[in-house]
Structure 1
């Protein structure tokens, strides 16, 4: 079993919020394809990273999680690129973890 996590930004690089319909679209697409999704939307997570030694970038994100028996790597790579385009990101983080249900 695989847990796929998608980290989506709340704001573009100019500080403008993305409309709710963008997140609803992702939710609907993934629910249709995988039969369910968990979305962490109410309390945004905070991402920090060093752009340069003297500049730290901060981002507020929401996280979507999908569980799947198989990992369709090629489909996910294509979808990640599509989401990066939609959310105007140079790099959009998507990760997969092998999990065991208890």
Structure 2
């Protein structure tokens, strides 16, 4: 969501500079709408928790070599459909990597 994305950038600034931005603002140029947020430390810690959880999921997927497809409307534009099990394809073998 756009709120998660805005708070992600606020989290980066907070961790880098030690200061939480007072206000986040996203402007939609097409219709002039805006999304305004005043994040708290609890908001940013929740975002950080989601990011850490996602990283744990990625790490486990790499360890187990299990990458389940997640079909969505974005698949319509994907050039990798021939390699995707959701479209009857066979993914190539992946090299093992060490994650930090």
TM-score normalised per structure 2:
0.26
**Higher alpha-carbon Rg:** 2
The structure showing larger relative contact order (alpha-carbon pairs under 8 Å, at least 6 residues apart) is 1
TM-score normalised per structure 1:
0.26
Structure having the higher helix fraction is 2
